[in-house]
Amino acid sequence: MDRKQVEYLLSAYGDFLLKNDMVPPGKEKFFVIWMRRYLKMEPSLRGMYWEDKLAQYLSILSNDVNIAPWQVDQAGQAVRLYFNNFYTVPQKYQPHATRQSKYTEKDWVDPKKAIRDLREWLRIKHYAYKTEQSYMNWCKRFFIFSQEYNGVYGNNLVAVTPELIRDFLARLASRQQVAKSTQNQAFSALLFLCRHVLHIELNEMEKNLRSKTGKKLPVVLSPVEVKQVLSHVSGTTGLMLHLIYSSGLRLSECSRLRVKDIDFDQSLLFVRSGKGDKDRSTILAERIQAELREHLKKVKMLHKKDLADGFGEVYMPGALDRKYPGACKEWAWQYVFPSARLSVDPRSKKTRRHHVSDGAIQKAMKKAVKEAGLAKPASVHTLRHSFATHLLLNGVDIRQIQEYLGHQSVETTMIYTHVVKEMRNPAISPLDMLEQMAVDESA
């Protein structure tokens, strides 16, 4: 077994100890640690039974001055529980023993083939590249869990059932204590796998396995706080953060902005294929137009240099690169915020200049918030929330703000009205009322 398989097996060992009340809650991690140390030294003792290996293992621990005698006893207990109780459990999930009894023939899946089919279906459905990677990672983790559950590893078939999916999500929630949104993301990936690749019906489980999330108020900065944050940024990242706040863009929408999408005459920005594959227009602040024009002059010089070096292509959406072969080198299609270096496209394997990394903008925002001395957990997306809230404070119609933000429903935009209500007409605390009464009485 490789390291990843060993870690998953040890994690299952910890779950087994807790489930069967063999150790008090919180102590299972120490048993896992001792077992991991045993497995690391095991290759040097090949050809011996585990009982003989255990004697050698405990002898090594006893000679370590940093390990107390009670810890040696605990290590011995951990190894004995592993081999006497836990290690025998997976044997009943071997394919030859369960193919006819527990599972039907259609339940058995080849993980590698399933992952390949999953990628094909995600691209047929035109899912975003990041979504593709996320779904594939969750499904890979699920198949490793399935191999652990069935007691098989490597390229063997695994049995996949709705109950196994439920157990995997339960493990994420109880054992790993992931966030609700993470659990729902994992379920969405497995639901896509079941519907399009495995053809497994989850029926009522589709409703029951999603974690319910409550409505949360967004983090919003006041105009003064936004000014403080933006005063600590400069250069290309500073321009992008100014643009995100002034136009209410998402980070990905800003980084993927193309030259043709800027209309200086109308003071508009056009967002193409935003969230939900929707186009929209939003406002372009006059204050940053001069800086944006100067930035584009530098980008155009960089593009000319790339063309002279034999590059200059940019990623084209859909099949436009085949329909208009020369468009990928045209100035209008270039990214407004290109990367500092050329890179290889992970799908087409072509060398291109992609847009700037989202991580660079997030780091710049985090640094600016820290330098501004703000205690709020503000991120780049906080500027988008602040854009909507400040427009509401200035009396802009909620429907117009909905169009600027690209929300499908006005109910999504309505959440900012709750923030505005608290900022515009805050209630007076009863404690302040008592203080005011004392002042009036003394007068």
Active-site residue, selected from the candidate residues 256, 303, 352, 384: 384
Residue 409 vs residues 82, 181, 399, 404: alpha-carbon distances, Å? 54, 21, 10, 12
303 catalytic, yes or no? no
Residue 275 known to be catalytic: yes
Catalytic residue among 119, 272, 275, 354: 275
CB 409, CB 417: distance < 8 Å? no
Which of 60, 66, 4 has the alpha carbon at shortest distance from 37? 60
Residues 209, 214, 220, CA angle at the centre, nearest 5°? 135
Q: Tell me which of 93, 315, 404, 416 is the catalytic residue.
A: 416
Residue 381 annotated in active site? yes
Rg of the chain (C-alpha set): 29
Q: How many CB atoms lie within 10 A of CB 178?
A: 17
Angle at 428 between CA 425 and CA 434, to 5 degrees: 165
Q: Which of 119, 141, 171, 250 is catalytic?
A: 250
CA dihedral 26, 27, 28, 32 (to 10 degrees): 120
Strand (E) or helix (H) holding 268: strand 268-271
Burial 123-141 (b: 16+ CB within 10 A, else e): eeeebeeeebebbbebbbb
User: Active site includes 416?
Assistant: yes
User: What's 346's DSSP letter?
Assistant: T
Q: Is 96 a catalytic residue?
A: no
Give the SS3 label for residue 344: strand
Residues 87, 305: Cα–Cα separation, whole Å: 63
Q: Which of 373, 397, 385, 372 is nearest to 423 (CA)?
A: 385
Q: Is 99 a catalytic residue?
A: no
Classify residue 362 as exposed, middle or buried by CB count within 10 Å of its CB (0-12, 13-18, 19+). Answer: middle
Of the candidates 53, 258, 390, 407, the residue annotated as catalytic is: 407
Instruction: Cite the active site residues.
Output: 250, 275, 381, 384, 407, 416
